[in-house]
Amino acid sequence: MCTTCGCGLSPSHTDGDGIAGRMIRLERDLLAKNDRYAEQNRDRFLHHKVLALNVMSSPGAGKTALLAQTIRELSPEMRIGVVEGDQQTRRDAQRIEAAGALAVQINTGKSCHLEAQGVGQALLQLPLMDLDLLFIENVGNLVCPAGFDLGEQYRIVLVSVTEGDDKPLKYPDMFATADLLVITKLDLLPYVEFSQEQCVAYARQINPELNWLGLSSQSGEGMLHWQIWLDQQLTALRTSK
């Protein structure tokens, strides 16, 4: 009910100044605009058969380290591009370029997440037709990026063993929409209290079908499983219509 004139939002509603106001029923989704751009991105990825992965985690979980190591191991056989999201600097893009892939940096300024429109603009700077794999490295943040579809085919969330195995319960939105959980920094496991099984169990409380794997970009442990997962998704994409 209206709190100004007491009407039930009727057409005869009037505001304090006595001028009759009109009520208009809208039913418009706040994310509709982002979703439209996300759909455009998705169409472009499918058209060029590029596997697009939205990589998310809290800051410092090892996103860039994992991508750089993946590029060193897989390119040039696999052609990889990276869209890098950070609030400031080109540092991550430089790390990716040093590893041997094409990178476009998006600086989000005050914003805490990437949006589909910005990613779409970044794609114009990448030769999508020549790529097999596109990583979209989101802003380090375990909250906001979960709410914005970028047009990716899969969402990957990283949790490092130094963060605590209860992260999925503390930040459930992120895990609810993820397709793959990657537990990183396994080389540090002997020094911290972290149970991979517990972390996965918590995550599956929210998302029972979530796949997971553990690895260390530093020692190389588990990197093979990660490559196999990437290969499987690429094969599935290429054999799809």
Partner 1 sequence: MHELSLAEGLIEILTEEASKQAYRQVRKVVLEIGEFSHVAPDAMRFCFEIAAQGSVAEGAVLDLTFRQAMGECRCCGESVVMHSRYDACPACGAYGIRVVEGEDMSIKYIEVV
CB of residue 144 to partner 1, shortest distance in Å: 4
SS3 of 184, please? strand
Q: What DSSP string describes 55-124?
A: EE-STTSSHHHHHHHHHHHHTTTS-EEEEEEESS-SHHHHHHHHHTSEEEEEE-TT-SS--HHHHHHHHT
Enumerate the β-bridge partners of residue 80.
Answer: 133
- Residue among 204, 177, 158, 169 at smallest CA distance from 56: 158
CB of residue 207 to partner 1, shortest distance in Å: 7
Closest CB to partner 1 among 44 and 113?
113
CB of residue 222 to partner 1, shortest distance in Å: 25
CB of residue 110 to partner 1, shortest distance in Å: 7
CA distances from 120 to 5, 49, 109 (A): 46, 16, 17
Contact 120, 41 (CB under 8 A): yes
Closest CB to partner 1 among 8 and 76?
8
Interface with partner 1 by CB under 8 A: which residues? 2, 9, 13, 15, 19-31, 33-34, 110-113, 115, 143-144, 146-148, 168-169, 172-173, 175-176, 202, 204-209
Closest CB to partner 1 among 46 and 144?
144
N-to-C CA span, the chain: 51
Closest CB to partner 1 among 129 and 176?
176
CB of residue 78 to partner 1, shortest distance in Å: 33
CB of residue 69 to partner 1, shortest distance in Å: 30
Q: How far apart are CA 35 and CA 116, in angstroms?
A: 7
Closest CB to partner 1 among 111 and 233?
111
